[in-house]
Amino acid sequence: MNRNVKSLMMKAGFYLLVAAIVIFAVFPFYYAILTAFETGSALFDVNYLPESFSFSNYLSVFEGQPFGRNIFNSIFVSVMVVALSLLMGVTASYALARVKFAGRGLLLVTILSVSMFPQVAVLSGMFELIRAVGLYNSMFGLAISYMMLTLPFTVWILTAFMRELPRELEEAAVMDGASPWTVITRVFLPVMWPAMVTTGLLAFIMAWNEFLFALTFTLTNEQRTVPVAIALISGASQFEMPWGNIMAASVIVTVPLIVLVLIFQRRIVSGLTAGAVKG
Amino acid sequence: MSEVVLKQVKKRFGPIETIHGVDLNIRDGEFCVFVGPSGCGKSTLLRLIAGLEDISDGELSIGDEVVNDKAPKDRGVAMVFQSYALYPHMTVYENMAFGLDLAKRTKDEQRERVMAAARVLQLEELLDRKPKELSGGQRQRVAIGRAIVRKPKVFLFDEPLSNLDAGLRVQMRIELTKLHEKLKSTMIYVTHDQVEAMTMADKIVVLRAGSVEQVGTPLELYHHPQNQFVAGFIGSPKMNFVPAVVIEVSQQTVTVKLDSGKEVTLPVDGSGLDAGDRVTVGIRPEHCSLADQDTALLSGTVEVVEHLGEAGLVYVQAGGDELFVARVTGDTAIVTGSSIGIHARVEDCYLFDQNGQARRRLDVDNEPLRAQLATG
Ligand SMILES: Nc1ncnc2c1ncn2[C@@H]1O[C@H](COP(=O)(O)OP(=O)(O)O)[C@@H](O)[C@H]1O
Ligand SMILES: [Mg+2]
């Protein structure tokens, strides 16, 4: 076989593979969007191109349950989780990366191993805790329990990043009269933007999509977050699955994530590579 | 007054002691250079003075005040780091004003001081730039400016020029010397480069393995090194060391026999030495001259010739473990493989006892003795 033909086939094979991966990744979401615009029996016909275009699903999502309230709850919890995670993550990672104390390595490993437990394993214990402090069926209870999921990776990523910052930078600030808090807020934070955006976004996505804790630790429709609300959307009768509504709701809640990622994508990319090369 | 006094200062990292009881007296306005091979504890000593490390034992005072337990910012010191350590997200102006801002100075005073420092360091055009938009030399100047605006009693420099290329290094060296003349503050400067030490210092402190080997002016160290280590460290290329045996000792001279068989009488203090003691003769490359092989101190085969332009360096295999280095004229015709003889005046030679301690050289400040030796 001629070398040109061979390289052409290699190229074709490569793009075929890329196409397969893209379809596999994007198709479920594409299908959800299609379905969300359909009504009646059209929902159950398999079609790959838009056929009908109706907003009725989107409207009925907000009629069947307090979906606006649910979205607000999700935003509230996620923002709180991000803020708390970053605050605690940054201060903890300063100590773990910059302050020498006995048991530092052990502590880091412990923090990481917390995230290895399956969520179900800690569910009942966490439930007791949340109830004991009177935060059952409350946004704050949810936010606090999410810390258990976000802090391990937040602390790890930020610690790794902070270790890479030159020691002399901190010492220069100390010579200038900076306290540890000033070092963190006025010298490290501005330098750590990419890492903060990356971890913050991961924490946001995690909190936004979390289901198990959200289902267990809330009782009323008014306190639910979006993932639980969607799962509990019910049809007119118990034999009818309201696919249209579910799909419309899913589209609604995915859009904010996509927007966030698009806004921050440049930062994320530099965040994921920052630290590899000294900047 | 801002003299810096160290009394038996020690530093331990865990169980390992890295600074072994340093005594030092740096006068107000002095330019003091810590010099020594890498890892000898220069930076650690400087960081102890800065307050970035705690002193394990001993006493440090700056301007009549013991500062062992004071925070860095309360010691009246400013430090310039090897890596510049500029705040990457701040402009040049903000970098310099940061310390003043933390000290709650008014905006007007900040501006005034930053502008004054910028004028001295020719940074006025660059005040709005970020560090990444500056060249290495400019960054170094900003780092120095950041120190100046705080009007410290003592400036500390940790190898500030080692990241610059050779030409810029010489230029910054001169600028720093001029700056010292202008500010008249006490400055402590760390370097592993003995040329920087010789050219800039009022006082040089030679360190080895966490202890002070010798303190003195550049010329004192050059002419009267206290031991073989200092003798080898100060001067470039390094001093040659030739093994010898003591033949005869008088009050003002010591006669030794080199391993080559040649006998020489050196004008050094011989007290405590006995005939038969093993000693080491030190000869600086720049004191060597070419001579007939039968009258020369040493002779051997040339292994390498380096042409520097203004001078040439000849590396000779003269029987020792290391090659003997001689500095000759730039237009030398010596070629690799030839046999040459090397001579040096006895009053230019150094003598070290078995423990590497130098014998006091009597000649350098002893005109009558020089005359006596010259007549035979
Ligand atoms: N933070 C530290 N912990 C343990 N050992 C240290 C620390 N800092 C320096 N040392 C040790 O102290 C010695 C002197 O180091 P340093 O002062 O940096 O040398 P220099 O600046 O002369 O090259 C070295 O052996 C180094 O390993
Ligand atoms: Mg050093």
Q: By CB neighbour count within 10 A (0-12 exposed, 13-18 middle, 19+ buried), where does B112 fall? A: middle
From B10, B11, B12, B18, the mutation candidate for ligand 1 (largest count of ligand atoms within 8 A of CB) is: B18
Q: B40 with B143, same domain? A: yes
Identify from A176, A185, A186, A189 which residue to disrupt to test chain B contact, counting B C-beta atoms within 10 A and taking the largest count: A176
CB proximity list for B246: less than 8 A, separation 6 or greater: B254, B255, B256, B273, B274, B275, B276, B277, B278, B279
Going from the Cα of A168 to the center of ligand 2, the distance in angstroms, rounded, reads 12
d(CA B150, CA A130): 52
Q: Which residues of chain B have pLDDT under 50?
A: 376
Q: B351 with B262, same domain? A: yes
d(CA A24, CA A16): 12
- The two three-digit tokens of residue A44, written as one number: 């159950």
Beta strands B240-249; B254-258: pairing state: antiparallel
- The two three-digit tokens of residue A194, written as one number: 């990419």
Going from the Cα of B42 to the center of ligand 2, the distance in angstroms, rounded, reads 6
d(CA B266, CA B373): 9
Q: Which residues of chain A have pLDDT under 50?
A: 274-279
B222: Cα within 13 Å, side-chain hemisphere: 18
B41 CA: nearest ligand 1 atom: 17
| pLDDT confidence of residue A245 | 84
> What is the pTM for the complete model shown?
0.82
Mean pLDDT of chain A: 86
Residues in chain A within 8 Å Cβ distance of B72:
174-175, 177
Q: Which amino acid is at A126?
A: M
From the CA of B159, the nearest ligand is 2
The CA-CA-CA angle for residues B138, B80, B74, to 5°, reads 135
Q: B158 - beta bridge partners? A: B190
pLDDT digits (tens, 9 = 90+) for A61-113: 888 788 889 999 999 999 999 999 999 999 999 999 988 889 998 998 998 88
Please, are residues B215 and B32 in contact by the beta-carbon 8 Å criterion? no
Q: What angle in degrees, to the nearest 10, is found between the helix axes of A243-273 and A56-64?
A: 90
Beta strands B339-344; B298-307: pairing state: antiparallel
Find the residue in B nearest to A173 (Cα).
Answer: B99
Residue B24's domain comprises 4-232
Q: B82 with B208, same domain? A: yes
Q: Which residues of B298-316 are buried (b: 16+ CB within 10 A; e: fewer)?
A: bbbebeebeeeeeebbbbb
- Alpha-carbon torsion B49, B51, B57, B60, what sign? positive
| pLDDT confidence of residue A271 | 54
Q: B276 with B162, same domain? A: no
CB-closest option in B52, B87, B103 to A174: B52
| pLDDT confidence of residue B368 | 59
Q: By CB neighbour count within 10 A (0-12 exposed, 13-18 middle, 19+ buried), where does A178 fall? A: buried
CB-closest option in A169, A182, A279 to B102: A182
| pLDDT confidence of residue A65 | 81
What is the least distance, in Å, from the CA of B136 to any CA of chain A? 15
For ligand 1, atom 21, the nearest C-alpha belongs to B43
Please, are residues B188 and B39 in contact by the beta-carbon 8 Å criterion? no
B37 CA: nearest ligand 1 atom: 22
d(CA A160, CA A184): 15
Q: B277 with B204, same domain? A: no
φ/ψ of B306, rounded to 5, equals: -110, 130
Residues with CB under 6 A from ligand 1: B 13, 18, 36, 38-44
d(CA A170, CA A188): 8
CB-closest option in B73, B78, B83 to A166: B83
Show which residues on chain B lie within 8 Å of chain A, measured between beta carbons. Answer: 50, 52, 72-73, 77-79, 81-83, 85-89, 98-99, 102-103, 146, 150
Which residue in A198, A242, A255 sits closest to A74, CA to CA?
A255
What is the least distance, in Å, from the CA of B207 to any CA of chain A? 23
Going from the Cα of B39 to the center of ligand 2, the distance in angstroms, rounded, reads 7
- The two three-digit tokens of residue A275, written as one number: 């630290």
CATH of the domain at B275: 2.40.50.100
For ligand 1, atom 26, the nearest C-alpha belongs to B39
Please, are residues B49 and B156 in contact by the beta-carbon 8 Å criterion? yes
What is the least distance, in Å, from the CA of B319 to any CA of chain A? 48
Check CB contact of A46 with chain B, cutoff 8 Å.
Answer: no
Residue A279 CB neighbours (<10 A)? 12
d(CA A270, CA A238): 49
- Alpha-carbon torsion B158, B164, B170, B175, what sign? negative
For ligand 1, atom 20, the nearest C-alpha belongs to B39
Fold of A65-273: MetI-like fold (1.10.3720)
φ/ψ of B268, rounded to 5, equals: -130, 160
State the DSSP H helix or E strand holding residue A218, giving kind and residue range, or none if neither: none
Which residue in B5, B22, B27, B32 sits closest to B218, CA to CA?
B32
Domain limits, chain A: 3-44, 65-273
From the CA of B210, the nearest ligand is 1
Residues in chain A within 8 Å Cβ distance of B89:
190-191
| pLDDT confidence of residue A111 | 87
Q: B326 with B211, same domain? A: no
Q: B261 with B157, same domain? A: no
CATH of the domain at B83: 3.40.50.300
From B38, B44, B191, B212, the mutation candidate for ligand 1 (largest count of ligand atoms within 8 A of CB) is: B44
Name the strands in the sheet holding B339-344, side by side, starting at the edge strand that comes first in the sequence: B288-291, B339-344, B298-307, B311-317, B324-329
CB-closest option in B52, B77, B87 to A171: B52
d(CA A148, CA B290): 80
Q: What separation in angstroms does the CA of B376 have from each of A260, B264, B288, B289, B361?
A: 93, 12, 20, 20, 19
CB-closest option in B79, B86, B103 to A177: B103
B158 CA: nearest ligand 1 atom: 21
- The set of long-range contacts for B129-134, using a CB threshold of 8 Å and a minimum separation of 24, is B129/B91, B129/B92, B130/B88, B130/B89, B130/B90, B130/B91, B130/B92, B131/B84, B131/B86, B131/B87, B131/B88, B131/B90, B131/B92, B131/B95, B132/B88, B134/B92
d(CA B279, CA B287): 20
Q: B119 with B40, same domain? A: yes
Name the strands in the sheet holding B203-208, side by side, starting at the edge strand that comes first in the sequence: B77-80, B154-158, B186-191, B31-35, B203-208, B211-216
Contact (CB<8Å) B87/A173: yes
| pLDDT confidence of residue B367 | 61
